[in-house]
Structure 1
Amino acid sequence: MTESSNTNENELRIAVIGAGPAGVYSSDIFLRQLKKLGEELGLGTKARIDLFEKLPVPFGLVRYGVAPDHPSIKFIADALEKTLDNPDIHLYCDVEFGKDVTLDELLARYDAVLFATGAVKDKPLGLPGADLDGVYGAAKFVEWYDGYPTGAREWPLTAENVAVIGGGNVAMDVARELMRNADDLKAKTDIPDNVYEGIQRNKAKVLHLFIRRGVAQAKFSVQELREMEKLPGVQLIINEDDFELDDDTIEVAGKDKLTRQMVEELFTIREMAEDMEDDGDVDFEGNPADRKYYVHFNSAPTEILGEDGKVKAIRVERTETGADGKMHRTGEFTDYPVEAVYHAIGYKPAEAPGIVYDEKGAHLANANGDGRITTAADGGEVRERLYATGWAKRGPVGLIGSTKSDALMIVTNMLEDLAKAAEGGRVAADRDPESIDRLLESRGIKPIDFAGWKKVDAFERAEGAKEGREHKKVIDPEQMRQLAHA
C-alpha cells in the first residue's frame, strides 16, 4: 500500500449536504478547527470533506436567494469560492440527497453527516383571499429574478398598484426589485436577459410596503435601507405618525446596536421622504419621480379583496406596538386598491428524507439548538453522527453572517463527539475515498466538481464582458451541465 492511500484511509471523512454559505463556512471551520485542536483531541489533523449540492452550481442563498443588486454579495461569493478551492474539500454539485444518494449510503462512507440545506418554500400567508390570482410568495419571485435553475422564466408584472407584506430584508428586496429601473439594474448586476426584459415591461407605478409592527421593531439591515434610498425615478412616502416613538421604545431600541442603527437610518429616510415631497415629488437625485413607494409601519393586512377571482384591494388594520414589541390591534381598517400582493413573511426550510422535521420551529429536529439531530422534534434521543447547521438547524432567521457563529458551535460539537467515538472518530466502515464516485457512476449520475463550476463561471464572465458587465447569469440547468462537463 502506498503512503498516500494509507493517509487517505486515515483521514476523517465528513459529508456536508448543501453548498450554500452554511455548508461552505462549516467545511472551512471544520478543517481549521481540526488543524488547531485535532492532535489534542486524538483525532489527527487530516480530513476530507465531500460537499453535496442538488443544484448544478454552488453558493445556494448567495446566488439564488438574495437580490442581484446587493453589492456585498460579490464579496461573499468570492470568499466562498476561495474556500472551495481547497484540496481537502470536494464539491459534488447536481447530486440530490435522498434521491441520488441515501442517508445509509452516506453513513457507510462518512464519519459524520452535516445538513446545511436552505429554504426554497414560502411560509403560507394564511389570510382570506390568499388564493386569489395576483397573490405571490416572495420565494417564487426571488427564484425568477435570480434565475434559479428550476424557477419560472416569465413573471406577470402587469399590476400598476402593488402591495408587499413583510418587515424583513426579503420584503425589502422584493419591493426594491418591483420599483427598479431595468437599465440601471442590468448595468450593475448579473441578471439574465429574461429578467431584464421582464422588468422593462413592469407596469408598477405605486407600491405599498406593509409592516405589522413599529419603526423600532422592523428587522431591516442598514444596508437594505441604504439601497432603498437610491432608487432612480422613485419617490419614498412615509406616514409621520409612525415615527412618534415614546421614551420607553427609544430606550429599548438603543440597547441593541443593530436596532439603534436601523432606527437611525429609518429617521434619515423620513427626512428624505419629506424633502422629496417638498421639492415637488422627486427621487433621491431631485429628478421627477414616476413611481411612488409608500412605507407603512403599524399596518397589519387582514384580508385580500377580489373580483372575478383576481386581486382588487388589500384591507389593512392599524396596529400599535409597545416598547416590549407586543402588537395591539386598533379596529381601524383601510382598503388600498392593488392588483398584486407579494408576501415575504418567512421561508420554510427544506425537509431532509430520513430526518425528523420540527414543524413549529421550521427546521430539522435537533437537541436544544445545538445542531445534534434528534429522533423527535420535542426532545427525543440524539442520533449519532448526524448534525444540522444554518437554517436547517435554527429555522429561517438571521443573516448570512449568523451562519458563521452557528458553524463554529456545531463544528465544536462534532469534534467533541468524534473524539469520544471509537477508532479516533473513524467510524465509517467504507474508508475508500473513491467509493462514493463509483456509487454515483453506477447510477449514471455525473457530479459537477469545482473545476466544472469554474467553467460555468468563466462562461458567465465572458458573456457579461460582451455587454460591458462583470457577469451574466446562465439559468438553464442543461446549459450549465454542458459547460461544466465540456
Structure 2
Amino acid sequence: MTQDSELRIAVIGAGPAGVYSSDIFLRQLKKLGDELGVGTEARIDLFEKLPVPFGLVRYGVAPDHPSIKFISSALEKTLDNPDIHLYCDVEFGSDVTLDELLDRYDAVLFATGAVKDKPLKLEGADLDGVYGAAKFVEWYDGYPTGAREWPLEAEEVAVIGGGNVAMDVARELMRNADDLKNRTDIPDNVYEGIKANKAKTLHLFIRRGVAQAKFSVQELREMEKLPGVQLIIDEDDFELDDETIEEAGKDKLTRQMVEELFAIREMAEDMEDDGDVDFEGNPADRQYFIHFNSAPVEILGEDGKVRGIKVERTRTSADGKMTRTGEFVEYPVQAVYHAIGYKPEAAPGIAYDEKGAHLANANGDGRITVSAEDGEIRERLYATGWAKRGPVGLIGSTKSDALLIVTNMLEDLAKAAEGGRVAPDRDPESIDRLLESRGVKPIDFTGWKKIDAYERSEGAKEGREHKKVIDNEKFRELAHAE
C-alpha cells in the first residue's frame, strides 16, 4: 500500500454531524496531508439508515424554522462532492458490520443522532396522554417510521422543558394549520392533524428561572409570532436580583436570551391590555402560558388518563442552583408532553456511556474506547456530534466538534503504518459488491436529487416550495426510477 491510493473513511450517519465532518476532513487533508505524510486524497463513504440524508435538520427541527432551508442547502452542496459517496437506506449493524467496514476503511467515524426520549421520572408518567417529545417531533416532521396520526383531542395541554425542543413542541401545538402549511413542507397527514387539534390552552413549565433557560433567541422570536395566540407570563418570574442579572450578562447568548424574554414580557402585557389579542392585535382564540420556576412533580390521572399536573414553585439562585419552596399548584390538563432531553442511539459493537448518554470515547476527544470505564482506545474508531458528547448543543456545535475529531483522526493516521492506509481491502467497489450480495440497494446522491425534485414538484402544485414524502417505499421507488 502506498500514498498513491486514497485514504478511505466510513462515516455512519448523514445528518449535520456526519456531513460537516466529511467536509472538514477533506478540507483539512488538502491543507495538512502532505505535511503529515498522509497525502491529500481521500474517499469518504457516508452511510445512513434512512432513505434520505440530513438527519436532525430534516427530522429533528420543527418545520417552521426558517434556517432549515439554509442549512439543508449547505449540507447538500457538501454532498455534491465527487470524493463523498452517499449510501442511504443502509443500516449499520444489520446491512453491514463493523468488521466489514474495518476491512475496507482506514477509519470509521460515528455521527449517529438521537431518536429516543430520556424517560420522564414522575408519578403518573405512564398515564394515557403523556408523550415524549421525540415521538411527537417524528410525527410532525414526517419521520419515515414515525406515527402517521397523532391524538390531538386535549383542550388543555402541558409541555415540560426549558430548551429549544420544548419550545418547538409548544409552538406546533399552538399552530394554525393553514399558516403552517403555507410556510413549510409538512405532509398532508400533519396538516390534517393540526387542523383538527383541539388545544386552546397550553402551559409551558420551566424548572429554573428566566436567566437559566436554554432557549435560543430565534426560538423566542418564533414564539412571538403565532397567529391567534395570546402569550401570558407571571410578572413575579421577571423579578431578577442584581446578582442574577450580572451573572446572565457575562455570557453573550444568555444576555440576548434574557433581553428577548423581557421583550416577550412587554408583549404579553400589551396583549392583555389590548383585550386578549395575538401579536397582530387580532382576537386570540388560544392562550400560551409561560411558567418559570415551576417544577412538575406529578401527573394526575383518572381512569388511566391524564386529568392534571401538579407543579412545585422553585427558586433559582444566580449560580443556577434550584431550590424547592413547598408551594404546589395544580393545573387541569388532558395531555402532557415532556422535552427533557434525548438519548443518542447505541451502535452495535461500540461501548455506550449510559451516564453521559453517548458512545464511550476518551475524555470527549472522539476516540472510541473499550468501555465507558476503561479509557483504552480502540484504534481507527471515532465519534462526533451527539454520538460523542450526548444530546447537548445546537446544530452549529457539530462544526467545532468535527474539527476536533478530524484533527485527532489525521494525527492518528499520520502515526499509522503505510501513511494511514491500513485497511486490507482497498477496492472502492468492494462495499458495493458486499451490499449487492445481500440484496441491499443504497440510495445515492443522484437518488436523493430525484426525491428532492419530486418533493419540490408536489409542493409547487400547492404554491409551496417543498412537500415531504414520508413513505419508505415511495422514497425507494423515486430514487431507483430509471
In which range does the TM-score fall when normalised by the shorter chain? over 0.9
| Contact 1:8–1:433 (CA under 8 A) maintained in structure 2 | no
Cα separation, 2, equivalents of 1:118 and 1:301: 28
SS of the residue 1:114 aligns to: strand
Cα separation, 2, equivalents of 1:59 and 1:257: 29
Counterpart residue number, 1:245: 240
| Contact 2:3–2:418 (CA under 8 A) maintained in structure 1 | no
Shift of 1:379: 4.0
Counterpart residue number, 2:83: 88
1:206 aligns with 2:201: yes
1:349 aligns with 2:320: no
1:40 aligns with 2:32: no
1:320 aligned to 315, 326, 351, which one? 315
1:14 aligned to 1, 9, 15, which one? 9
Counterpart residue number, 1:226: 221
Cα separation, 2, equivalents of 1:437 and 1:410: 27
Cα separation, 1, equivalents of 2:259 and 2:375: 44
Read off the aligned partner of 2:98 and give its amino acid letter: L
Residue 78 and residue 8 in structure 1: after superposition, are their counterparts in 2 closer, same or farther (change >3 A)? Answer: farther
Cα separation, 2, equivalents of 1:255 and 1:477: 48
Cα separation, 2, equivalents of 1:325 and 1:389: 28
Matches within 5 A, 1:140-219: 140-219=135-214
SS of the residue 1:270 aligns to: helix
1:424 aligned to 397, 405, 419, which one? 419
Judge which range, 86-95 or 379-388, deviates more. 379-388
1:120 aligns with 2:108: no
Deviation by residue 1:280-338 (Cα, 9 ceiling, x = unmatched):
00000000000000000000000000000000000000000000100000000000000
Cα separation, 1, equivalents of 2:4 and 2:87: 20
| Contact 1:9–1:432 (CA under 8 A) maintained in structure 2 | no
SS of the residue 1:10 aligns to: coil
| Contact 1:190–1:472 (CA under 8 A) maintained in structure 2 | yes
1:436 aligned to 409, 415, 431, which one? 431
Cα separation, 2, equivalents of 1:261 and 1:203: 34
Deviation by residue 1:404-446 (Cα, 9 ceiling, x = unmatched):
0000000000000000000000000000000000000000000
1:108 aligned to 79, 103, 117, which one? 103
1:61 aligned to 35, 56, 59, which one? 56
Read off the aligned partner of 2:355 and give its amino acid letter: K
Cα separation, 2, equivalents of 1:282 and 1:8: 68
Read off the aligned partner of 2:302 and give its amino acid letter: E
1:472 aligns with 2:467: yes
Cα separation, 1, equivalents of 2:375 and 2:35: 31
Q: CA RMSD in A?
A: 0.9
Cα separation, 1, equivalents of 2:226 and 2:343: 30
Deviation by residue 1:381-406 (Cα, 9 ceiling, x = unmatched):
00000000000000000000000000
Read off the aligned partner of 1:422 and give its amino acid letter: A
SS of the residue 2:96 aligns to: coil
Read off the aligned partner of 2:354 and give its amino acid letter: E
| Contact 1:9–1:433 (CA under 8 A) maintained in structure 2 | no
| Contact 1:14–1:49 (CA under 8 A) maintained in structure 2 | yes
Counterpart residue number, 2:335: 340
Counterpart residue number, 1:236: 231
SS of the residue 1:40 aligns to: helix
| Contact 1:11–1:46 (CA under 8 A) maintained in structure 2 | yes
SS of the residue 1:230 aligns to: coil
Unaligned residue ranges in structure 2 (runs of 5+): none
| Contact 2:3–2:38 (CA under 8 A) maintained in structure 1 | no
| Contact 1:42–1:419 (CA under 8 A) maintained in structure 2 | yes
Cα separation, 2, equivalents of 1:38 and 1:217: 44
1:377 aligns with 2:372: yes
Counterpart residue number, 1:292: 287
Shift of 1:380: 2.3
Cα separation, 2, equivalents of 1:376 and 1:86: 35
Cα separation, 2, equivalents of 1:46 and 1:440: 25
When normalised by structure 1's length, the TM-score is 0.98
Read off the aligned partner of 1:407 and give its amino acid letter: A
> Where does structure 1 differ by over 2 angstroms across 4 or more consecutive aligned residues?
6-9
SS of the residue 1:377 aligns to: coil
Shift of 1:376: 1.4
Cα separation, 2, equivalents of 1:252 and 1:434: 57
Cα separation, 2, equivalents of 1:8 and 1:260: 51
How many residue pairs match? The answer is 481
Counterpart residue number, 2:442: 447
Cα separation, 1, equivalents of 2:135 and 2:39: 45
Cα separation, 1, equivalents of 2:377 and 2:16: 25
Cα separation, 1, equivalents of 2:3 and 2:463: 46
1:365 aligns with 2:360: yes
Residue 425 and residue 8 in structure 1: after superposition, are their counterparts in 2 closer, same or farther (change >3 A)? Answer: closer
Shift of 1:209: 0.1
Read off the aligned partner of 1:315 and give its amino acid letter: K
| Contact 2:154–2:333 (CA under 8 A) maintained in structure 1 | yes
| Contact 2:309–2:331 (CA under 8 A) maintained in structure 1 | yes
SS of the residue 1:472 aligns to: coil
Shift of 1:378: 2.5
Read off the aligned partner of 1:152 and give its amino acid letter: A
When normalised by structure 2's length, the TM-score is 0.99
